[in-house]
Copies of this chain bind each other. A is one copy, B any other.
Amino acid sequence: MKSADNCVIIGGGAIGIETAYALRIHNKNVTIIEMEEQLLGGILDPDMASMVENYLESLGIDIIKGKRVDEVDGAECLKQVISGDIAISADMAIIAAGFKPDISLALHSGIEAVPAGIKTDEMLKTSADDIYAAGDCIINYSSIDGKPVLSRLATSAFKQGAAAAGNVMGADERYRGTAGTFVTRIGTFEVAGTGFNSVTAASRGFEPASGKITSKIKPEYYPDNSDVTVKVIFDKNSGIILGAQCAGERGAAERINLISMAIEFGITLDEFCRTEMAYAPPVSEVYDPLLRAADFGVRRMKRR
């Protein structure tokens, strides 16, 4: 890594962009190549992903979207990464294109599983009595609609582990599934999200709409201020909160955590709008951008 000048990152998910940033601040030439038409595909909506892309490009990172890698080329050592008629000079390539769990132990033991993972019940018990499973190797469920969801986050693994361990010891703890709440920070840019993005929400049978705002995190007159962009996604008919995405210099994760909790406990958008957030000018606005985005959303709900 120390002698590499030209680095190619294959895959523009969280690991890919974090790695790209880490190499770029060590003055490498960095290119991210991503097969989707946006970074953080399946997670962020395109408008929010473009904020991430703009930030990475402002650091001098090249981004190639909508292209699959055909070949990682070089006889003795790596020379280039090839995608169709594009050849990117590279003396280092990092594959950050996702993974599948190795569930062969479960399969060889006769424990029920599908390629996506081991099957468990809500108590994290597998098909075999007294055998529990937790983490990236199991099929995870959405806390929004209760159906399977691809979400392999430390957050889920940790909560599953805690619940499974408790149940092994005789507790009665249901794992409630995940909203896929995540955050990443690259340099001075924090991006966080939870729940479904707009495309996923629609594909799972909801009628998504959103409320979105970019606004200061502190009152206008206050020094050491910054912008945050918040997008809250909800079902037009029911007001169920389906997800949210947030980006800015700071303050993204803390707002997403509130939406994450609202999703988990079935708090609807109109209820959420009135939640009480701590206010003091050195810290926050009396009418927080998160609540403003939610209020904009409420106006787009179908009247019941």
Q: Are B286 and A158 in contact (CB under 8 A)?
A: yes
Note all chain B residues with C-beta closer than 8 A to A271. Answer: 265
Cβ of A216 < 8 Å from any Cβ of B? no
Note all chain B residues with C-beta closer than 8 A to A287. Answer: 158
Q: Are B282 and A185 in contact (CB under 8 A)?
A: yes
How many residues from A make CB contacts under 8 Å with B? 45
Kindly report which residue of chain B lies nearest to residue A186, judged by CB atoms. Answer: B282
Q: Are A257 and B280 in contact (CB under 8 A)?
A: no
Cβ of A4 < 8 Å from any Cβ of B? no
Q: Are B153 and A279 in contact (CB under 8 A)?
A: yes
Bound CA–CA A259/B303 (angstroms): 30
* Overall SS of chain A's interface: mixed
Q: Are A181 and B286 in contact (CB under 8 A)?
A: no
Q: Are A276 and B155 in contact (CB under 8 A)?
A: yes
Q: Are B260 and A183 in contact (CB under 8 A)?
A: no
Bound CA–CA A261/B258 (angstroms): 8
Cβ of A91 < 8 Å from any Cβ of B? no
Q: Are B258 and A278 in contact (CB under 8 A)?
A: no
Note all chain B residues with C-beta closer than 8 A to A282. Answer: 184-185
Bound CA–CA A160/B117 (angstroms): 49
Bound CA–CA A35/B119 (angstroms): 62
Note all chain B residues with C-beta closer than 8 A to A214. Answer: none
Cβ of A253 < 8 Å from any Cβ of B? yes
Q: Are B159 and A274 in contact (CB under 8 A)?
A: yes
Bound CA–CA A154/B285 (angstroms): 10
Q: Which listed residue, B184, B194, B277, touches A280 by the CB 8 Å rule?
A: B184
Bound CA–CA A158/B143 (angstroms): 32
Q: Are A179 and B265 in contact (CB under 8 A)?
A: no
6 A–B contacts from the bound complex (CB under 8 Å): A155-B276, A159-B274, A183-B283, A194-B276, A254-B257, A256-B278
